[in-house]
Amino acid sequence: MLVDVRAGEKSWADIYRLCIGFICPRPIALASTISREGKRNLAPYSFYNMVCANPPVVMISCGVNRNGGEKDTLVNVVDTREFAVATVTAAIAEPMARCGASLPWGESEFEFSGLTPTPARFIAPALVKESPINIECTLRETYKIGSGPGSSTVIFGEIVAIHVDDALLDGDQHIDASKLAAVGRLGGQAYANVERPYNLQIPDVGKR
């Protein structure tokens, strides 16, 4: 199959469904924000990654909501310039999925999902107690891509603090992937657990 995107052979939604089937597994950001009024919000995003090491910056791509407006996460981040991200593990996969439900404005996904908010060190949004890794971020900038259905706003956040369960660390103070049991998003409603990570060595061509 060849899809000529520029020719408009398929709709944006068809292209999206096709791409998320092979751009995977995608890490999931369980993003915690707080509104001006102090209402907590917790939402999962699989368009998420680290995009810079110095300074440490992550991005979350936030699409429009079902009504074509801005999602609560984006509204809150722009208003408060802060957000937290919890790493999704197998133990909290089902509560994470519940956080994707379209709740009324101001109703907390923490309560709906059964996850527990716990205070951050430097920002107002809460961390997720059940996650072994949480990061605290401040907003650097947002970048709008497209307009209307299917469009997104990319949120760039600078990491100001990282909370890691010591049980996940090896002797070099690195994350042991076999202990983390991270969850990745596939296409549709499919997810994948990282159960058996393995190592590959990148060749040192200078030693040939």
Q: Which residues, including other chains, have CB under 8 Å from residue 149's CB and lie 6 or more apart? A: 12, 13, 64, 68
Give residue 42's domain range: 25-190
CA geometry: angle 116, 119, 114, nearest 5 deg:
10
Whether 205 is covered by a domain: the verdict is: no
Whether 165 and 119 have beta carbons less than 8 Å apart is answered as no
Residue 207: pLDDT over 80: no
* Nearest Cα to Cα of residue 111 among 46, 41, 44, 35: 41
What confidence tens digit (pLDDT) does each residue in 137-186 have? 999 999 999 999 999 999 999 999 999 999 999 989 999 999 999 999 99
Whether 7 is covered by a domain: the verdict is: no
The residue among 154 and 4 whose pLDDT is bigger is: 154
Whether 107 is covered by a domain: the verdict is: yes
For the chain, what is the domain count?
1
| CATH number where 103 lies | 2.30.110.10
Whether 207 is covered by a domain: the verdict is: no
What confidence tens digit (pLDDT) does each residue in 87-133 have? 999 999 999 999 999 888 778 899 999 999 999 999 999 999 999 99
Whether 79 is covered by a domain: the verdict is: yes
Strand partners, 63: 152
Write down the pTM of the prediction: 0.93
Average pLDDT score over the chain: 94
Whether 1 is covered by a domain: the verdict is: no
CA dihedral 47, 162, 140, 142 (to 10 degrees): 20
Strand partners, 62: 153
Whether 154 is covered by a domain: the verdict is: yes
Whether 28 and 45 have beta carbons less than 8 Å apart is answered as yes
Whether 10 is covered by a domain: the verdict is: no
Strands 117-118 and 183-185 come out as: unpaired
